[in-house]
Amino acid sequence: MTASQLAVEGLSIDYEVGTGRYHALSDVSVTLDPGRVLGIVGETGCGKSTLAHAIPRILPEPPARVVSGRVIFQGVDLYAVPKWKLPLVRGTGIGMIFQEPLNSLNPAFRVYDQLAEAVIIRQRREAGLAPMFRPEQENPFDYSRHPRVRAGEGLTGPFVGSVATDRARRPRVPDSVRGEVLEYLRLVRISDPESILGRFPHELSGGMRQRVMIAQALSQRPSLLIADEPTSALDVTIQAQVLTLMKELLAEIRTSILFISHDLGIISEMADDVGVMYAGRLVEHGPVAEIFGRPRHPYTKALLHAIPSRYKADGDLDSIPGSVPNLSRLPTGCCFHPRCALARRECGEDPPPALVPVDPAPTGRTERDPPHSSACRFFSEVEGLP
């Protein structure tokens, strides 16, 4: 398959809050091929979560405003389709695991209801009872298998799949829903899934809730899964469990993952490719081994250097001098130049450099790997930095 699963092209998003305008994303472009894991790393406030929420278009607009760019999912620009069609892409097309598992389950619904809703949505779409996103067709939002279309009635706008129409012809929920719910709970290694079906989210521990969340996202078998810091709210042991689990699941359900984290260790474990973000820009992008082995952007280098090492017990922890720039008043030129050891006069004056491919491909790079590119003019000097 030549077409990529997801292509974000030059996406710029501003937040308009009060009088200020915050440039959360500036000209971000990434692509993700089927079956691959793209990790996005960066400090807090660099736009990782904005990117994650912008892809399925769940950013509240306003305050968010898409200034330019496109998000192309399986060949369809999601920012060009009418809003009411978006639910068809979500769930079975793009699934998401959120940062805070504690708030991501509806407190009024039992675990069973939460999961059953997701399973039923997928089953109905697969059975042709609900409209489904079909990228391979000319009109990807296909209603042709919908009973009302087959009956020659036609569909009336946004009320497709609404409560009223759903209830009117909702087929009896097949017994398979319960079976599937249990199956996915087992998949996320909940040892006795039947015991938690009747529980409310507040009766589960954080780790359990996170797994229910993951089960919910997976039960829709999305072709793209966005994991927005899925483990940051968990302690280390559960984090390890969840990550192991996700890696195992990758093999079980073939899906591409956009994995967002500020934890470089997790990214190096999980990702095939890595994008490094700084102040709303993608500053370096490439296969994971090359990014971590031979970083070609001073920010990546500094970030890797700042990882606390247990072998280096003496002295202070390393950090990057300075702080993340205010997104409403970005520095001119390269955003990183005020903190950069390599910075020269042109870094602060010329417009920010674009991502350019670095070095010839080293041995071992496969055809599927993206080229290693960096947004630094002096990437060849990065290796010489401490």
Partner 1 sequence: MASKTPRVPVALAAGPSRSAIVRVGRPLRLLWRVLRSNPLSLVGFVLVVLIVVATALVYLAPAVIGVHYPLNQPSNALGQPPSWAHPFGTDPIGIDIYSNVMAALPVDLSIAFAIAVFALVFGGLLGLVAGFWDTRRTLGGAVSVVILRITDVFLAFPSLILALAIAVSLGRGVPQVIIAVMLTWWPYYTRLVRGEVLSVKHRQYVTAARVAGVSETRILFRHVVRNVIEPVVVYFTMDIGTVIVTFSTVVFVIPNVISFPSTNTSEWGVMIQNYQDSFSALPWTVLAPGLAIFLTVLSFSLLGDGLRDVLDPRTRRAMLETRRLEPAAPVEKAEEAESAGPAAPVPGTVPDVTGPS
* Chain residues that interact with partner 1, rule: CB under 8 A: 53, 56, 58, 60-62, 84, 87-96, 98, 100, 102-110, 112-113, 116-118, 121, 125, 158-163, 166, 172-173, 175, 177-178, 192, 194-195, 197-206, 208, 213, 216-217, 220
Q: Which is nearer to partner 1, 117 or 318 (CB)?
A: 117
Q: Which is nearer to partner 1, 20 or 198 (CB)?
A: 198
Instruction: Please state the closest distance from residue 200 (CB atom) to partner 1, in A.
Output: 5
DSSP 349-374: HSPPPPPEE-SPPPTT--TTSPPPEE
Instruction: Please state the closest distance from residue 203 (CB atom) to partner 1, in A.
Output: 6
Q: Which is nearer to partner 1, 32 or 340 (CB)?
A: 32
Instruction: Please state the closest distance from residue 279 (CB atom) to partner 1, in A.
Output: 25
DSSP 233-254: TS-HHHHHHHHHHHHHHHHHS-
The answer to whether residues 92 and 221 touch, using CB atoms and an 8 Å cutoff, is: yes
Instruction: Please state the closest distance from residue 40 (CB atom) to partner 1, in A.
Output: 17
Q: Which is nearer to partner 1, 216 or 239 (CB)?
A: 216
Helices then strands (H, E): number in the chain? 13, 14
Instruction: Please state the closest distance from residue 117 (CB atom) to partner 1, in A.
Output: 7
Q: Does the CA dihedral 345-277-275-1 come out positive or negative? A: negative
Beta strands in 76-184 (DSSP E): 76-77, 94-97, 132-133, 141-142
Q: Which two tokens stand for residue 293?
A: 């082995």
CA 112 to chain centre: 25
Instruction: Please state the closest distance from residue 258 (CB atom) to partner 1, in A.
Output: 13
Q: Which is nearer to partner 1, 157 or 360 (CB)?
A: 157
Instruction: Please state the closest distance from residue 122 (CB atom) to partner 1, in A.
Output: 8
Residue position matching structure tokens 């399925």:
56
Q: Residue 182 carries which side chain, given as an amino acid letter?
A: L
Instruction: Please state the closest distance from residue 281 (CB atom) to partner 1, in A.
Output: 25
Distance (Å, whole) CA 198 – CA 112: 6
Distance (Å, whole) CA 43 – CA 153: 53
Q: Which is nearer to partner 1, 173 or 354 (CB)?
A: 173
Q: Which is nearer to partner 1, 152 or 157 (CB)?
A: 157
Identify the three-state secondary structure at position 304.
helix
Identify the three-state secondary structure at position 291.
helix
Q: Which is nearer to partner 1, 182 or 304 (CB)?
A: 182
Instruction: Tell me which residue of 94, 167, 155 sits closest to 124, measured CA to CA.
Output: 167
Q: Which is nearer to partner 1, 52 or 376 (CB)?
A: 52
Q: Which two tokens stand for residue 364?
A: 């071992």
The answer to whether residues 314 and 333 touch, using CB atoms and an 8 Å cutoff, is: no
DSSP 195-218: HHTT--GGGS-HHHHHHHHHHHHH
Instruction: Tell me which residue of 325, 295, 320 sits closest to 307, measured CA to CA.
Output: 320
Q: Residue 75 carries which side chain, given as an amino acid letter?
A: G
Instruction: Please state the closest distance from residue 105 (CB atom) to partner 1, in A.
Output: 6
Identify the three-state secondary structure at position 294.
coil
